[in-house]
Amino acid sequence: MDNDRWLWTLGQELARHQLGPDAVRHVVAEAAAHLRDSGQPALRAFGTPEGYAAAVAESLAARYGRPARPAPGRVRLSARGITKRYRRRTILRSVDLTVRAGEVAAVVGANGAGKSTFLRICAGLLTPDAGEVMLDGRLGYCPQDAGTYDFLLPDEQFVLIGAGRGLDRERSKQIGRAGAAALQWRPAAGVQTRHLSGGTRQKLNLVMASMGEPDVLLLDEPYQGFDRGTYLDFWQHVWRWRDEGRAVVVVTHLLSQLDQVDQVLDLTPASEGAAA
Amino acid sequence: MKILTVAEMAIREMVRRRAVLALLLALPLAFYLVRRGDQVGQSIRFLLIGLAWAVSTAALFASGTSRPIEPRLRLSGYASHHLYLGRLAAMWLLGIVVAAPFFALVAIDHGDQVRLGAVALAMLFAVTVAAPFGLLIGALVPRELEGTLLLLVVVGLQMMIDPADALTKVTPFWSSREIATYAVDHTGDEYLTRGLVHGLAFTILATAVVALLSTLRLRVRLRAATSA
Amino acid sequence: MDQERRGQWLRGVLDVCVLALLGRRESYGYELAQALDAAGFGQIQGGTLYPVLLRLQRTGLITAEWREGASGPARKYYRLTEDGEQALARLSADWSVFAGHVDAVIRR
């Protein structure tokens, strides 16, 4: 990796750690000055850009850390006593979840624990056998897969979703492309969705869900196939949506981010049968 | 506006499937050519059935590819009628585009022997009925293979059935058959009228059932907060 | 000296050394690295040095300013604040005591 490339990556990584543009510019410029003065290769002087960015972010934590969060607002989504059976098997047993504006809830549980089912019930796409979901505001829903048309271009999918939200074509494309860029993706002209990689398709899926400024975002493991950087970007988006006062529900089986969410709903039965 | 966008995307989706388009055209053509040696009437009747079959199959598949995506569209601000009406409009347009060259073919081949205006009308009705019929099957039978087989049964029945049988009047494409008879055999107006009424009634009925099923399937089961 | 040991010791005192160097005169990152090298610490990598500078700046012990150098392009110059001077005095006293204890134990 040459020094220019290293410095560019550093900038990206610093932005991922939510440093402001000024802070990013200063850190990158200082590193560049050091490299020029010392004549050293960047990797030797600073290590990997990811590692150095993390060290810088940690050093600056108090000053440039996430801005003070607004207090959680009103209840945006409230699911009460949700019970769902498939045939004789009870998937969900009296599950409750309340998410306020400016909160992130993680839904975890083993495969088959009913995470996606619960999210579909929250989205109003499935009728629970018992219980009720109350929604306040506009909903954005990112299904786990199959949320896109194979033969349409990403731009066309943006237009399709945008039209539903009452946006005109240009505005829809603009919003969609901006969302894509924020996930390090620039849709190539004329490439149909079926030719995108799994991770890129998930980005498309996620961008579509967040169009139209939803108040409540329901995200069903939308980061499968993401590389590590994009995965971090995804969580940056989650924090940003939260700080903008949206209510976010993320289905996940990865536990690494759980210490940072406001609540965790574990759908794994306490012990099969004894949970009743 | 929303209906138009759905229609536009459904058409774009369909026309990018080159093989599907080729088959859409090949099916009525094959039907026509196979019976070309017979009387004029038979070849045109088979052409109409081929056309109806092609369009209803396209509609069936369009409904299948959209099925997993419709919930998200519904949650993104579309009402269910935007979705099925948009798709219906797309299939109608597609059907007319597919029918046009066949009309030209009939006009060149038999233009002097038939009522051309009525042939056009019969084609129009084949398309008009086939689009909602394909969507209807798609709504009734979620799996594409089963839907395709069901369509095959219906079309097969339509082809085999004795025209004198009373049952023929409940087959979906009877309207275009009647109009075709009027066009080819120079019968009286009653065939035309019967065909028009049957075609319109069937279209309205099929669309109504599609609307009902779609609205049921895509209903949003949420209680909105009073403050929203 | 074994590299790992050197790194461990350095981590504990690098901020004190940086404060001490800046107590003599204001300086920028690369110059500090050279000064530390000349003092016998060996080469201090940027990845180690700058996070320390940023932390000292954050806690208000040093301030920074971007300036054109006499020769060459803009550099970020650091200098001690009043808080930094007090901290340096306290830390160097602490270090003398601490190093005395270590000496006493080792040489007995």
pLDDT in tens, B167-180: 888 888 888 888 98
What average pLDDT does the structure give for chain B?
90
State the residue range of the domain holding C99.
3-107
**CB under 8 Å to A251, separation ≥6 — which residues?**
A106, A107, A108, A115, A116, A119, A144, A219, A220, A221
pLDDT for A207 equals 93
CA distance B85 to B5: 11
Inspect the interface and report whether the beta carbons of B13 and A151 lie closer than 8 Å.
Answer: yes
* Residue at token pair 């903008």: A244
Position B84 pLDDT exceeds 90 = yes
| CA distances (Å), origin A230, targets A8, A185, B74 | 16, 9, 28
State the residue range of the domain holding B61.
2-217
CA distance B31 to B28: 5
Q: What is the mean pLDDT of residues A247-273?
A: 76
The answer to the question of residue B80 being in a domain is yes
The answer to the question of residue B84 being in a domain is yes
Helix, strand and coil content of chain B, in percent to the nearest 5, comes to 80, 0, 20
pLDDT for A13 equals 85
pLDDT for B164 equals 76
Q: In what order do the strands lie in the sheet with A247-251?
A: A139-142, A216-220, A247-251, A104-108, A263-266
Q: What is the mean pLDDT of residues A67-74?
A: 71
Tokens for A126, please give them.
Answer: 């499935």
Position A82 pLDDT exceeds 90 = yes
pLDDT for A80 equals 93
Q: What is the mean pLDDT of residues B191-218?
A: 93
Residue A69 pLDDT grade (very low, low, confident, very high; cuts 50, 70, 90): low
Q: What percent of chain A has pLDDT over 90?
A: 43
Position A261 pLDDT exceeds 50 = yes
Question: Does residue A139 belong to the interface with chain B, where contact is any CB pair within 8 Å?
Answer: yes
Q: What is the mean pLDDT of residues A172-199?
A: 90
Cα angle: C45, vertex C101, C2; to 5 degrees? 35
What stretch of H or E contains A274?
none
The total domain count for chain C is: 1
User: Which of A143-157, B203-217, C16-30 is predicted least confidently?
Assistant: A143-157
Inspect the interface and report whether the beta carbons of A34 and C46 lie closer than 8 Å.
Answer: yes
The answer to the question of residue B222 being in a domain is no
User: Which of A57-66, A156-165, B141-150, C16-25 is predicted least confidently?
Assistant: A57-66
pLDDT for A275 equals 38
φ and ψ at C62, to 5 degrees? -135, 160
Chains that touch A (3 or more CB pairs under 8 A): B, C
SS3 call for C68: strand
pLDDT for A156 equals 95
Q: How far is B44 from chain A (nearest CA, A)?
A: 34
The total domain count for chain B is: 1
Cβ atoms of A170 and A155 closer than 8 Å: no
Residue A65 pLDDT grade (very low, low, confident, very high; cuts 50, 70, 90): very low
Q: Is C97 exposed, middle or buried (0-12, 13-18, 19+ CB in 10 A)?
A: exposed
pLDDT for A256 equals 66
What average pLDDT does the structure give for chain A?
86
- Closest residue on chain B to A159 (Cα): B5
Position B9 pLDDT exceeds 90 = yes
Query: Which 8-state DSSP code applies to residue A137?
Result: S
CA distance B31 to A11: 64
Q: What percent of chain C has pLDDT over 70?
A: 95
What stretch of H or E contains A271?
none
SS3 call for A270: coil
User: Which of A199-213, C12-26, C69-83 is predicted least confidently?
Assistant: C69-83
Q: What is the mean pLDDT of residues B23-49?
A: 87
Residue A129 pLDDT grade (very low, low, confident, very high; cuts 50, 70, 90): very high
At least 3 CB pairs under 8 A between chains B and A: yes
Position A64 pLDDT exceeds 60 = no
Q: What is the mean pLDDT of residues B214-227?
A: 78
Looking at A213-262, list the stretches that DSSP marks H as alpha helix, in order from N- to C-terminal side: 228-243
pLDDT for C73 equals 75
Position A146 pLDDT exceeds 80 = no
Write out the residues of chain A at the interface with chain C, using a CB-CB cutoff of 8 A: 26-27, 29-31, 33-38, 40, 44-47, 51-52, 55-56, 58-60, 62-63
Q: In what order do the strands lie in the sheet with A75-86?
A: A89-100, A75-86, A130-135, B223-224
Closest CA to A269 of A95, A120, A105: A95
Tokens for B220, please give them.
Answer: 């949003």
Residue B225 pLDDT grade (very low, low, confident, very high; cuts 50, 70, 90): low
pLDDT for A62 equals 52
User: Which of A38-52, A67-81, B69-83, C23-37 is predicted least confidently?
Assistant: A67-81
CA distance B80 to A141: 17
Position C24 pLDDT exceeds 70 = yes
Inspect the interface and report whether the beta carbons of A47 and C45 lie closer than 8 Å.
Answer: yes
The answer to the question of residue B140 being in a domain is yes
* Residue at token pair 């089912």: A117
**Does the predicted TM-score (pTM) go above 0.90?**
no
Question: Does residue B2 belong to the interface with chain A, where contact is any CB pair within 8 Å?
Answer: yes
**CB under 8 Å to C84, separation ≥6 — which residues?**
C19, C22, C23, C56, C60, C61, C62
Q: Which residues pair with A83 in a beta bridge?
A: A130
| CA distances (Å), origin C34, targets A34, A37, A224, B138, C50 | 11, 10, 46, 75, 13
For C51, the closest of A59, A62, A63 (CB atoms) is: A59
Inspect the interface and report whether the beta carbons of C50 and A27 lie closer than 8 Å.
Answer: yes
Query: Which 8-state DSSP code applies to residue A71?
Result: P
